[in-house]
Structure 1
Amino acid sequence: MTRPYIGFGAFISPLHPPGEDPSLLMWRDMELVEWLDQLGLDEAWVGEHHTGGWGTIGSPEVFLAAAAERTKHIRLGTGVTSLPYHHPYMVASRIVQLDHMTRGRVILGVGAGSSPGDAHMLGIAPGEQRRMNGEALEAVLELLEGRGPVNRKTDWFVLQDAHLQHRPYRREGIEVAISSATSPLSMQLAGRHGLSTLSFASPRPGGSPPDLRRQWEYAEEAAAASGRSVSRENWRLVVNVYVAESRKQALEDLRVGSAAWMRGYFGDIVGFPVDSLGVEPGREIEFLVESGAAIVGSPDEVSEGIERLYESSGGFGKLLVTGADWASRENTKRSFELLARFVAPRFNGSLRSLDSSRDWVMSRRGEFVPQALNAVKRAFSDSGVDVPQLTVPERPEPA
């Protein structure tokens, strides 16, 4: 079977259970990004959180600027910058500076903001966030595209003859991706402006899997209505993925961390009634796998899960592995190593030429082996030495 082409990266929110030194948490997140770069993964995304104790990075731009100095190839995305929390001019100005500092490796991921605590501290009513997100996005795009002085006035920001001193590092500009969960609004915004998209494909505990095919249709419909286009190659799906030597080992590696995430984060912090799901304590990871919230197992099992996700979604360009401290630091790094070594090559095309060369040699071994034997015999003969009996045992036919 011909597998689809998919790129791979990580969506490092990050979410860490409380109790660990915050400075060391940031160091550990930075170490992980460096590891992903060494493994050759395509992207690393870091988010913005200000409350709740689990999300420990308040400025993804500052973190990614430091990560850029420690990495060589990996693209770095804000996952995401919450537009209602910032004046759009400052968002555009900061990301262009970061674009230059990374030599064009940055991606601007944007969203409306998901933490009620963050919005509350800034005096933003939850019902206004999506409107503000759309208004800010339009302003940011105008500034990044350099259409001329930008003049906009809303009830929360003003732009007067606004323009950026620097253009993006690359002629094609900065890639902008908008995040989407379940509602159609973000995908419609992506289609309206012809942007990349970033969808959360893992359902929340107890929730039904998102209708990814319909999500993509929202983007296509809005793009057609606006005379724009969107590409599945620029559609990223964020998924909980973990690779181990076996399904049994994977489940054991994730047992404690997934329970803490499900009950501590979604239960205690978000306020989701986890106990109402009837999940037996200690078997949270089995529940998450069975509900489609996680793809875990051996490289073969994870590859099969990714293929199913590709089929159910209708196709996407990149898979971003969620970082949520489900496993220990060492096992998390090991999982990404197995992903890079044995899963990603099945989808990113790096094995195709090797497989083709192997098949070509195997198909002509009946010709190549006798030629090699004859060459050895001639070497003996030319040396004046008796030629030994060289034969190749017949290969038994497969049963």
Structure 2
Amino acid sequence: MSTSLPARLRFGAFIAPFHPPDENPTLALERDIELVQWLDRLGYEEAWIGEHHSAGYELIASPELFIATVAERTRHIRLGTGVSSLSYHHPLMLADRINQLDHITRGRVMFGVGPGALPSDAYMMGIEVAKQRDMMDDALDALVPLLRGETVNRKTDWFTLQDARLQMTPYSRPSVEIAVASQVSPTGARAAGRHGAAILSLGATSAGGFNALSSNWAIGEQTAADHGKAMDRNAWRLVGPMHIAETREQARANVQFGLEKWLFYFREVAALPISVEAGVDPVDAMNATGLAVIGTPDDAIAQIERLVGQSGGFGAYLHLAHNWASWDNTKKSYELFARYVAPRFQQLNVNREASMNWARDNHAAFLGQQVQAVGARVARHIAEKGADNISPEILQAMGMGDKPEAAQ
């Protein structure tokens, strides 16, 4: 498989988030806000914010409110809904909120969409899980033209639009960027292809998600071609978890803080698949299968290269924010990644390395020129003033030994 990568691979975080119910939820939300500010300072390009309404761990109910808050506290990072559950919202109301965010963030907002991840959310609203993907398709067919500023008339069995349009012309032209969540099934890839939208590959490092990367991309491309659209690999995001430290031993020690609570949530609460069985060492299992990286910056580099090879190329890697480690160690992990991993995939040091190698290749010649230039000045001083104030070390370095008359 041929691969294609942009000259500057982007990095960011996908923040569901995951907070065990043994801590203050208000402080947990504040820490999520601080995480996005930290990513912005470190130069990460994107942060995607989830929407959930049950199960206790994933606390953010409105990604739009969260994005509006962090937009005021950040400067550069782009902010996406990760994802808005389309079956929960009337399309006009959601389009209006996203369009307002597009304006107040001056184009920094991105619109990630999906059917809704937690069956418990759907249950509370009386939505049949089996219908959610069809509802997503219905909503997306309306949202795409609405977010381009077009007028939409559409009637489905769960919403009606009559001469519906946004009051404000979109800030981003022709529209905010739209990304469709995709895991194993072709649902997300087909929806993205139908509208020429981006793919947001959640669970890209799980066994099923990893194996489906290339096939789902092919499905998206074919669907796009069938509808006169085109797919852009640079807009494709892959999501996976990692925690890194200076050594593998330190990384393993760090995640003892919260890894088991995270695994408990996936195994017993969230009704989402997890491939780490109880009773085995989770760090060994996750590293061995590639589900996660718990190790060093070199291990993180290897994981991204593995994803490049499997996918054929993509535009952004998003850390699945997980709270496996303490807050200080979590921030350190993101910092190590920004310092030592991201530059490898962003060509940040190509010119520096070329300059260093050029200077090294010419080191002897440049050193000789430097010695010659300094020596000439020393010799001139001796000729004019004598050598009384010239140290023997300088004379020795200039090849004059203890015979300064050689300079005359």
Contact 1:39 1:340 (8 Å CA) reproduced: yes
Q: Distance in 2 between matches of 1:129 and 1:224?
A: 25
- 1:126 corresponds in structure 2 to 129
User: CA offsets per residue over residues 114-159 of structure 1, 9 Å max, x none?
Assistant: 1111111111101110011011111111111123x21111111111
On the 8 A contact 2:9/2:346 being kept in 1, the answer is yes
Q: Does the 8 Å CA contact 1:112/1:129 hold for their aligned counterparts?
A: yes
Structure 1 segment 214-293 matched on structure 2, within 5 A? 214-262=215-263, 264-271=264-271, 277=277, 279-280=279-280, 283-293=281-291
Q: Secondary structure at the match of 1:79?
A: strand
Matching of residues 87-236 of structure 1 within 5 Å: 87-147=90-150, 149-202=151-204, 209-236=210-237
Give the letter for the 1:139 counterpart.
A
Task: Determine the structure 2 residue equivalent to 1:325.
Answer: 323
Q: For the residues of structure 1 that align with 2:365 and 2:309, how far apart are their CA atoms?
A: 41
Conserved 8 A contact 1:202-1:240:
no
Q: Classify the secondary structure of the residue corresponding to 1:53.
A: coil
- 1:50 pairs with 44, 49, 53, which one? 53
Q: 2: distance between equivalents of 1:341 and 1:361?
A: 24
CA distance in 2: counterparts of 1:51 and 1:70, whole angstroms: 28
Aligned equivalents of 1:96 and 1:155: distance in 2? 25
User: 3-state SS of the aligned residue for 2:397?
Assistant: coil
Aligned-partner residue type, residue 95 of structure 2: A
Structure 2 gap segments, 5+ residues each: 388-393, 400-408
Q: Does 1:22 align with 2:25?
A: yes
The CA distance in 2 between the partners of 1:75 and 1:391, in whole Å, is 58
**Structure 2 residue 395 is matched with structure 1 residue 388:** yes
Whether the aligned pair in 2 keeps the contact of 1:3 and 1:346 (CA below 8 Å) is no
**Contact 1:177–1:198 at 8 Å: present in 2 too?**
yes
Q: Give 2:287's aligned amino acid.
A: V
Distance 2:371 2:19 in 1: 62
Q: Counterpart of 1:71 in structure 2: which amino acid?
A: T
Whether the 8 Å CA contact 1:113–1:119 is kept in 2: the answer is yes
Which deviates the most, 359-368 or 35-44?
Answer: 359-368
So what's the TM-score if we normalise by structure 2?
0.90
Deviations along 1:281-304, one digit per CA (max 9) or x if unpaired, are xx2222122222102211112112
1:197 Cα deviation (Å)?
Answer: 1.0
Kept in 1, the 8 Å contact 2:254–2:325? The answer is yes
Distance in 2, Cα, partners of 1:138 & 1:3: 30
| Matched-pair identity in % | 46
Distance 2:126 2:173 in 1: 38
TM-score normalised according to structure 1 size: 0.91
The letter of the residue matching 1:239 is G
> Could you tell me how far apart the structure 2 residues matched to 1:213 and 1:177 are?
17
Distance in 2 between residues matched to 1:272 and 1:168, nearest whole Å:
36
* Stretch of structure 1 that moved more, 284-293 or 328-337: 284-293
Q: Which amino acid aligns with 2:55?
A: G
Deviation at 1:36, TM superposition (A): 0.4
- Displacement of 1:330: 1.0
Give CA deviations for 1:77-100 in whole Å, capped at 9, x if unaligned: 110000110011111111111111
Amino acid in structure 1 at the alignment position of 2:159: F
* d(CA) in 2 for partners of 1:251, 1:234: 33
- The root-mean-square deviation of aligned C-alpha atoms, in Å, is 2.2
Conserved? CA contact 2:13–2:318, under 8 Å: yes
* Residue number in structure 1 paired with 2:312: 314
Note closer, same or farther for the CA distance 1:17–1:63 as it changes in structure 2 (3 Å cut): same
Aligned to 1:341: 339
Relative to structure 1, the CA distance from residue 272 to residue 152 in structure 2 (aligned partners, 3 Å threshold; closer, same or farther) is closer
Q: Is this contact kept in 2: 1:202–1:294, CA < 8 A?
A: no
